[in-house]
Amino acid sequence: MVRRFVYRSLFFLLCVLSFSYLQSQVTDSLRKALRNTRTPVGRINTLVVIAGSCDVYDSAVSYINQCIWYCDENKNAFGKAYAFNSMGRIAANFSNFKEGLKWSNLAIDASIKIPNDTLTSKGYLTRGYMYFSMADYLNAGSDYHEALKYAEKAGNKKLIGGAYNVLGLTFGNKKPPDSEKALGYYFKAEKIDREIKSMRDLGFVLLRIGWIYLNNEEYDKAKRYLDESLGIGDSLKIVEVQKWSLEAYASMYNKQKKYDKALEVFLKSLKLSVENRDMTGIVNSSSYISSIYNKKGDYKKAMLYSDSAVIICERHKIYSALHHAYKGKSSVYESMGDDKSALKFYKKAIKLKDSLFKAENRDNLNELEKKYETEKKEKELSEKNGELMVQKAENEKQQTQRNFFIAGSGLLLLFLIFGFVGYRQKQKDNKLIANQKAETEKQKQVIEEKQREVMDSINYAKRIQGAHLPSDTYINRKMKELNKK
């Protein structure tokens, strides 16, 4: 058994070394890609990806600073806010949560200044993760509510689902856990993720719902959700979903006292965490493995895994898991009969727990929830009132338009009536004029006919006179003869 344990440890070390080598190869290829990138967006994205692939935190900061300088030179405020937020996530991967808070603060300020609601929501989600990792659930819940508010404002369903997801996680981890509220948020996230087919996010939501049912010892429900989450993780190769689903299964076997089966699954989960440099995952798996070896009476291995969990938590400041690691180590010492050491680590666990899970924080988180719900209802009421005002204004506008239409239609009708009457009158006048013209023409014809008849009579009389009277020549000749006498 000891030899097999040594082989496993060597295998994990080999995985870490292999991962580091592959990571350096990836970084080299990205540097080449950066030299060939000319577009601003491509250059910003490549610098961020290179920063995320660095094994050393300071190297990651160097690449992000190059990205920020490039954004300043090109007056790209969006790219700068994106770089700040990315560095916050990178700092979290290094478990450097205080640095992560600094970067995420810069991201939030820059995003609000642009303004960009989507980036602002992402900034609050990143900062909330820092607080959550430090077990500051009050500030984590506050930031997650802000993230939800900006996501709703942006209409970004993916971010809305993500905010619901982490809010469920916050209420599920506070002491004591509020399973009902956590499930309420998870179910909202599940509905959105199924609607938009965001399978990665859906895998995490289903996993977390499974954990809650597992903690409530509702194993049938837990298994149904865990089966689906592990199926999504395996089919899409989502390591985090695979790893945490395996841990949930192992915890279920542990609760059912199937220790060998639980140990087998926890070791698979630990392997995935080591391969992906997931310090929190390594701590959780190591703590669970230590607990199982303790139950099996193998105290040497139990202490080895317990020490690993405590050292990693203290070195990387993973406070959300540290008090569990202290408590686990106390249990191992107690099983070994070392009551003094057991009491020492038990006191450490209690002290840390008291500082992390104060009653006022629990109450404040509930107050924060109530405040958010109140603000949301007020916003909905305000929006509803706004809609009513808009509807009222629209109705008044429609009424005014209707009145104008009716008045315009009335005027048009009057115009048509007057036009029609005028047209008919004009037709009558034209007809009368035509009749008068015809009558005048007729009278003219009668007069002309009478004139012709008179002229004909005159001409006839003149012809008769001409026939009976002597001619002018004859009269003139006779007058001349009379004058001579």
Proportion of the chain above pLDDT 90, given as a percent: 31
Asked if residues 278 and 271 have their Cβ atoms less than 8 Å apart, the reply is: no
Of 104, 179, 160, 178, nearest in space to 134 by CA = 104
Report the range of poorest mean pLDDT among 130-139, 299-308, 414-423. Answer: 414-423
Which of 55-64, 111-120, 143-152, 274-283 comes out lowest in average pLDDT? 274-283
pLDDT higher than 50, residue 403: yes
What pLDDT does 399 receive?
Answer: 72
DSSP string, 187-236: HHHHHHHHHHT-HHHHHHHHHHHHHHHHHTT-HHHHHHHHHHHHHHHHHH
Structure tokens at 223: 């298994």
| pLDDT computed for residue 352 by the predictor | 75
Please give the pLDDT value at position 471.
64
Looking at the predicted structure, is the pLDDT value of residue 78 above 80? yes
Cis, peptide link before residue 470, omega less than 30° from 0: no
Quote the crossing angle between the two packed helices 319-336 and 339-356, to the nearest 10°.
Answer: 160
In the chain, what are the domains? 278-359 (1.25.40.10)
Which spans in 256-358 are helix H? 259-275, 279-296, 299-316, 319-336, 339-356
Range with top average pLDDT, 1-10, 63-72, 183-192, 303-312: 183-192
Q: What is the per-residue pLDDT across 444-473, written as a single tens digit (0 to 9) for each?
A: 776 677 777 767 776 666 666 666 656 667
Give residue 360's pLDDT band: very low, low, confident or very high (50, 70, 90).
Answer: very low
b/e per residue 212-233 (b: at least 16 CB within 10 A): bbbeeeeeeebbebbebbbebb
DSSP symbols for 3-65: HHHHHHHHHHHHHHHHHHHHHHHHHHHHHHHHHH--SHHHHHHHHHHHHHH-SSHHHHHHHHH
Confidence tier at 24 by pLDDT (50, 70, 90): very low
Task: Report, as an integer, the average pLDDT of 319-343.
Answer: 85
For the chain, percent of residues with pLDDT exceeding 70: 73
Confidence band (pLDDT; 50, 70, 90) for 316?
A: confident
pLDDT per position as a tens digit, 470-482: 666 766 777 777 7
Least confident span in 42-46, 96-100, 462-466, 476-480? 462-466
Q: For 152-188, what is each residue's pLDDT tens digit?
A: 999 999 999 999 999 999 998 887 888 999 999 999 9
pLDDT of residue 137: 87
Q: Which band of pLDDT confidence, cut at 50, 70 and 90, is reported for residue 46?
A: confident
pLDDT at residue 6, rounded to an integer: 41
Cα separation, 135 vs 146, in Å, equals 18
Please tell me the distance from the alpha carbon of residue 226 to that of residue 243, in angstroms, as a whole number.
11
Helix (H, G, I), strand (E, B) or coil at 358: coil
pLDDT for residue 120 is more than 90: yes
353's torsion region: left (phi>0), alpha (psi -120 to 50) or beta?
alpha
Mean pLDDT of all residues belonging to the chain? 80
Using alpha carbons, select from 300, 210, 215, 301 the residue that is nearest to residue 8: 301
Residue 135 gets the label, from left (phi > 0), alpha (psi -120 to 50) or beta, of left
Return d(Cα 347, Cα 427) in angstroms, integer: 114
